[in-house]
Structure 1
Amino acid sequence: MAMGRPVRLVLESSVLLEPSASAGGGGGSGEAVLRPGAEALLRPLRYSNLGVAICYPEGFLEKIASLYSFGYMSLPATSGSCSQNDLMLEWSRTSSCFYVTSTIDKSLFSELHNQNWRILYVGNECSIKDPGVFHVSRLQELLLTLATLIKREIGSSSVLVRGALPIYSTKNGLIFVPLSSELPISWQLQEVDMVLHKVTDEIVKIDPNCSVEFPKGIAFSAGMSEIIRFVEEHPDFCIIDPFENIYPLLDRQKIQQILIQLQEFGTEGKSRLRAPRSLKVDNFDDDKLDKQLAEVGLSFPLIVKPQVACGVADAHNMALVFKFEEFSNLTVPLPAVLQEYIDHGSKIFKFYVIGDKVFHAVKNSMPNASFLKSSSGGEPLTFNSLKSLPVATKEHLQQTRLQDSKLLDTTLVEEAAKFLKELLRLTIFGFDVVVQEGTGDHVIVDLNYLPSFKEVPDSEAVPAFWDAIRTTYESKRGQSHT
């Protein structure tokens, strides 16, 4: 299989439908249903860079093919079995082709084999002894088997894990395949060269009393726990990014300590980059709280954030407090971080670091404190920063009249991004910057791992993402060989 040669995949209906529905034609009775694991297979195939077609009688699966943007091959209603057609013959001349079935048809297999197709049989037993027929015991194993076959033929590519990423090799030789929690993780990791993960999405529980002692007190999903054990037992295994490098971003107090190290950025007469002033608290009723606020230079309004930054349901439940009395009965989880609220003209600058590339986008943000206070009704303003963030209205934006990026010192923030990359030793991360009205201070108010990059065009983010992964892999492999 040469690089650049298309890969075609044909899924026979017997692979996708429950046996009774598949045998009945997949749509005549109206009772056709997908077998367990079929949807988990179809979703990543949609973004795989493979040419995928479903082979079936007319009916139910035609809708499935359309839903996932696949091709389809209608079968003769009389036989209900697949056979070589003109399109499949054309594919065999121009592409590397795989046929996936749960039905043994020796004559079809022989015909496909003569046209250089590879057959993947999914089922408990396979009596066919043919080097062109590959046996896959369970549907969940199919993607890993397919990616491994593609990798072996290309030769130098790497197989990576997780997400809607191409199974067919990218321009720089990356093959992605999702891990399945229904199969032994250690068995799957024997076939891959590197793991791409978002460990923060796999957190089941965090003990807030241990939050400053990460990774102690963290419970992960069973699959992620198995990956962590595997990596600990195989220190030369490449992972993006190492778990210990990500742990500080789970704790807003630790994030604050990281950002304080940026205080040297910026010179007199130019923009200054800094962390927001903040204070960690374990109890909102502490008699010494007012004195502690004064010692660190904090004044109202204050934004109150849980110390645990992600991985738990209430990590993004926050409040804006306008006076001391509003701490009473505040529902933000403890321990918490009190942070100065910065008037920033209702604009926030989201920065994304992907390897050596830095991107940024401008988004509407929370209004200035005066607008928020006038609408709070004398109560603290509570919100979820992911779901119910109070964003400025058109009226607020017109009154602030901030010209999106003219106040942003891009060079200053990009220098800080490179500093953070070296400090954090992360390949992919993001942070948010606001520009304080009046002072022009550039304040980093949030730092997170593997953001969505949804504001960055795919034409820029995707190549940078692939390059960053490949560079990290080559660096890790070079270190293990020295």
Structure 2
Amino acid sequence: MAVRLLIHESVMVTSDESGGWCLRSGADILLQRLRYANISLTFIHQEEPSSKKASFITDVLGRQEVRDPLGVCGAISVHSLNELMSVNEPSQLEENVDICFYATSVLDEPFVTKLQSYKFNVIYIGSEVEATVEGIVFIDKLDELIITISSVIKQGFSSLNPLTVGYLMKPSRELDFLKRGALPLFPCKSALIFVPISFELPLISQLTRIDVILHKVTDEIVSIDSGSPFDFPNGITFSDGMSELISFIEENSSYCVVDPFKNIYPLLDRLQIQNILLGLQETKGRSRLRAPHFLRVETFNNHDLGQKIAEANLTFPVLVKPQVACGVADAHSMAIVFKEEEFKELSVPLPAIIQEYVDHGANIYKVYALGNKVFHAVRKSLPNSASLLASGISPITFNSLKNLPVADQAESSVDALDMDLVEAAAHWLRERLGLTIFGFDVVIQENSGDHVIVDLNYLPSFKEVTGVHAISAFWEAIRSAYEIKKAADVVTHRPQLTSCFKQNM
């Protein structure tokens, strides 16, 4: 089973001010998405291969970085229009594929007629033009191409009961998932078809063709009011598109969302994260699973701050983090403080969480819960406190996303990760949080062997986990979330769409 897409140069390429050639606006991300869509691509140029335009197209394709662990990069070829017009046998164009598309912004009716005789779906992109050829699908924007194709693919592979997953995340996160083959347009082994949600297009027209919404809602936070109570989403300003999507989901609760917004908001607040972790039950065995000791503070100038730190079972050095966990510029501005007087000029945003600094041999375990499957990877982490003291820098301030003071190598031997303990924690957290895809960070305390969970997050990229099993588990988790949601809706007899949205469709 296969899908083939022919793209005319007019869709992707235009002339620049110097008389040369450049990609059209949006063509670079489209090419990137199609490259990892698990379909066969053929680019058609109007001129012969020796022309500058044809050379530009070939050069652009050659510059695309490819990492293809799941084999989702389909074959890519470049042909002239004359070459394809000379084809006499359908098999020379179809190559045993199941569904064929031709996308163009120049309507060459003889060529279109020929392709239609070979069962190609023809899509014209641009202002609608007069055409005597029937059966052409007209779309206005390049952004509409993938979701238009997806609808035909879903219908063509209906025997697989495919689901269309509309995803929403920032470009760098999307690229990371794309390069690992996690967001294919061709149905993956769990029969999922992935399409990007675009806020440049009418939202309703997209959502009526989508079964599951996969999102990183925090990528769409514009601001958080630090003066308001920590009762998210109160105080959060989202982008206009995200606000519209949230309103749609509130009106149409039958939609499967991975994961529900209300289940994610607690992870925006480090105090709530700490309190959630406190609920983990201790597990009998050779090691314990626990939360770090902590203290919430609204100011660093309390005369009794040292006493409160001691009462919270904290000893120096301590780690200081903003209470807001993400969505604002300084959410990852942190510090390691070695003595009480260093709090006076500390620049960490308030309110803040003062957290236990755990000596852990400079290794941190990144744990990923993808549905019922649990994976982990080891990453270098903060040095032990003795090494930090030896540096002579006090306090140490850093951004945990940019300049985390990571040790060059492991500093001492610590116990191996207790997977039974970690999997039990993942199960407990899955039930407690109501999340499908999430991650948490575990460090193993020296001497005691305590497994300390120091952070929680949702929809992690899990890029440290090598091999194909994590991607397959990612797909299975999404499919399972949909089936669980639909089963629950059958029990409650929940309608598919509210009347107000039906009237607007």
TM over 0.5: yes
Q: Report the counterpart of residue 120 of structure 2 in structure 1.
A: 117
How far does residue 86 in structure 1 lie from its aligned partner after superposition? 7.4
CA distance in 1 between counterparts of 2:467 and 2:220 reads 26
2:337 match: 321
Matching residue within 259, 282, 286 for 2:277? 259
1:150-201 per-position Cα deviation (integer Å, ceiling 9, x unaligned): 1122222111112431111112211110011211222211111110001111
Distance in 2 between residues matched to 1:441 and 1:71, nearest whole Å: 52
User: Partner residue of 2:404?
Assistant: 389
Name the SS for the 2:278 alignment partner.
Answer: helix
Question: Corresponding residue for 1:236?
Answer: 254
Which of 265, 271, 282 is equivalent to 2:287?
271
Q: Which one has more relative contact order, counting CA pairs under 8 Å at least 6 apart?
A: 2
Structure 1 residue 87, shift from structure 2 partner: 9.6
After TM superposition, give the deviation of residue 115 of structure 1 in Å. 1.2
Write out aligned runs for 1:2-81 (5 A): 5-18=1-14, 31-56=20-45, 57=47, 58-68=54-64, 71-75=76-80
Q: Which moved more, 1:406-415 or 1:244-253?
A: 406-415
Aligned equivalent of 2:186: 168
**2:295 is aligned with what amino acid?**
L
Give the AA of the match of 1:106: E
Equivalences for 1:71-150 in 2 at 5 Å? 71-75=76-80, 83=85, 85=87, 89-95=91-97, 96-128=99-131, 130=133, 132-150=135-153
Counterpart position of 2:500: none
The alpha-carbon deviation at position 7 of structure 1 amounts to 0.3
User: What is the identity, as a one-letter code, of the residue corresponding to 1:151?
Assistant: K
Tell me by how many angstroms 1:110 deviates.
1.1
In 1: Cα distance, 2:472 partner to 2:253 partner:
28
Q: Taking structure 1 as reference, are residues 205 and 376 closer, same or farther at Cα in structure 2, changes over 3 Å only?
A: farther
Percent identical among aligned pairs is 47
Distance of 1:86 and 1:458 partners within structure 2: 43
State the alpha-carbon separation in 2 of the partners of residues 295 and 475 from structure 1: 45
Pick from 333, 349, 372: which aligns with 2:349?
333
Provide the C-alpha distance between the structure 2 equivalents of 1:91 and 1:328, rounded to a whole number of angstroms. Answer: 72
Match of 2:379 in 1: 363
Describe the shift of the 1:84–1:114 C-alpha distance in structure 2 as closer, same or farther (beyond 3 A).
farther
Distance in 2, matches of 1:332 and 1:136, equals: 50
- What letter is aligned with 2:29? A
Q: Tell whether the 8 Å contact from 2:113 to 2:133 is kept in structure 1 after alignment.
A: no
Please give the alpha-carbon distance, in whole angstroms, between the structure 1 residues aligned to 2:200 and 2:322: 34
CA distance in 1, matches of 2:202, 2:3: 28
Please give the per-residue CA displacement for 1:232-261, whole angstroms capped at 9, x wherever unaligned.
111111111000000000000000000000
Instruction: Look up the match of 2:213.
Output: 195
Matched, 1:477 2:486: yes
SS of the equivalent of 1:94 reads coil
Counterpart residue number, 1:292: 308
1:350 aligns to what?
Answer: 366
Over 3 Å counting, the alpha-carbon distance change for 1:187 and 1:59 in structure 2 is same
CA distance in 1, matches of 2:185, 2:222: 29
2:448 aligns to what?
439
* CA distance in 2 between partners of 1:194 and 1:84 (Å): 43
- 8 Å CA contact retained: 2:8, 2:104: yes
Q: Which residue of 2 aligns with 1:311?
A: 327
Q: Give the direction of change, closer, same or farther, for the CA distance of 1:283–1:117 in structure 2 (3 Å limit).
A: same
Q: Kindly provide the amino acid, as one letter, of the partner of residue 39 in structure 1.
A: D
Give the partner amino acid of 1:388: N
Provide, for residues 15-49 of structure 1, a one-character-per-residue CA deviation record: whole Å limited to 9, x for no partner: 1123x57xxxxx9x851122222123112111111
Size of the alignment, in residue pairs? 459
Residues of 2 paired with 1:206 and 1:253: CA distance?
16
- 1:211–1:307 contact (8 Å) kept in structure 2: no
| C-alpha deviation, 1:413, in angstroms | 1.4
Shift of 1:132: 3.5
- The aligned counterpart of 2:422 is 413
Deviation of 1:127 after TM superposition, in Å, equals 2.5
Amino acid corresponding to residue 417 of structure 1 in structure 2: A
Aligned-partner Cα distance in 1 for 2:138–2:32: 22
User: 1:307-355 CA distances to partner (integer Å, 9 max, x unpaired)?
Assistant: 0111111111110000001101111111110001011111111110000
Partner of 1:461: 470
Query: Alpha-carbon deviations, 1:403-428, whole Å to 9, x = none?
Result: 5xx43221111101100000000000
Structure 2 Cα separation of the partners of residues 248 and 230 of structure 1: 21
- Alpha-carbon distance in structure 2 between the residues aligned to 1:253 and 1:104: 59
What one-letter code is carried by the residue in structure 2 that aligns with 1:103?
V
Pick from 194, 201, 204: which aligns with 2:222? 204
1:24 is aligned to none
Q: Give RMSD over aligned pairs.
A: 2.0
- 5+ residue gaps, structure 1: 22-26
Question: Hey, what's the Cα distance between the residues in 2 that align with 1:208 and 1:288?
Answer: 24
Structure 2 residue runs without a partner (length 5+): 48-53, 67-74, 168-173, 492-505
2-structure distance, mates of 1:444, 1:297: 17
Contact 1:147 1:175 in 2 (8 A): yes
Is 81-90 or 151-160 further displaced after alignment? Answer: 81-90
Matched letter for residue 152 of structure 1: Q
Question: Cα deviations across residues 43-102 of structure 1 (Å, max 9, x unaligned)?
Answer: 2111111111211132211112223366232327xx7x9625479742415012111111
Aligned mates of 1:260, 1:8 — CA distance in 2 = 52
Task: Report deviation, 1:365.
Answer: 1.0
Matched residue SS, 1:59? helix
Q: CA contact under 8 A between 2:359 and 2:384: conserved in structure 1?
A: yes
d(CA) in 1 for partners of 2:392, 2:288: 32
Match of 1:401 among 408, 412, 437: 412
